[in-house]
Amino acid sequence: MGPVELPAWLQPRYRKNAYLFIYYLIQFCGHSWIFTNMTVRFFSFGKDSMVDTFYAIGLVMRLCQSISLLELLHIYVGIESDHLLPRFLQLTERIIILFVVITSQEEVQEKYVVCVLFIFWNLLDMVRYTYSMLSVIGISYAVLTWLSQTLWMPIYPLCVLAEAFAIYQSLPYFESFGTYSTKLPFDLSIYFPYVLKIYLMMLFIGMYFTYSHLYSERRDILRVFPIKKKKM
């Protein structure tokens, strides 16, 4: 008797693609909900909605960003084909800004920059996860591919500027409240505002590295035009 062929749903490649599709779908739904919620609230309450953006959607945003750390595991074990370091830089940027800078300081949560930052993040992620979700099941659209490889070019630098501005606005509160600043043995201490200022410089260095990687990736992907038509 010849070898028995496994059903499609039991084959490793199918299970991997099914898992990635569900992961991308969850992320797309989360970021779409956040963006829709912010849009409806803005048209309903105007500028007042920007002040309590974090209180309205901060929990879902933190959940989505926490789940996104799985992408590092995906790359490490080979489920996703991408470079680990650029993705690590992108994810740690958001985790540090969201959890360390914004979540820890209630006064920063009311700043307009938080609303602007969330808009930029969600615009990028809605397009990225839509593209990734369809790619997993073998569907590609020229417009969506171009958009996913181009939208980040103006928005990503704006994200970094907004992140830097959020750090700048948080510094007085970290200085006043002493959050994360601590004394160490042997008369040593960690003054967290200095740590943030150092990270502020590293943020722009990381932006250059990430931008260069994304631009190279964009060039390679768009070079294969015409993009495959939708597979039935």
Render pLDDT for 72-89 as a digit per residue (tens, 0 to 9): 999 999 888 888 999 999
Which residues does residue 184 pair with via DSSP β-bridges, in sequence order? 188
pLDDT band at 227 (very low <50, low <70, confident <90, very high): very low
Whether 217 is catalytic is no
Whether 156 is catalytic is yes
- Please tell me which residue, 161 or 3, carries the higher pLDDT value: 161
Instruction: Give the span between the Cα atoms of 53 and 101, in whole angstroms.
Output: 15
Residue pair 90/126 in contact by the 8 Å Cβ criterion? no
What tokens were used for 56?
């309205």
pLDDT in the model for residue 185: 73
pLDDT in the model for residue 96: 95
Q: What is the dihedral of CA 138, 80, 200, 153, to 10 degrees?
A: -20
Catalytic residue among 71, 80, 93, 163: 163
pLDDT in the model for residue 172: 94
Catalytic residue among 156, 180, 191, 211: 156
pLDDT in the model for residue 211: 94
Q: Model pTM greater than 0.85?
A: yes
Q: What is the dihedral of CA 81, 87, 88, 90, to 10 degrees?
A: -170
Of the chain, the end-to-end C-alpha distance in Å amounts to: 34
CA dist 167 → 67, 87, 122, 161 (Å):
23, 21, 20, 10
pLDDT in the model for residue 225: 56
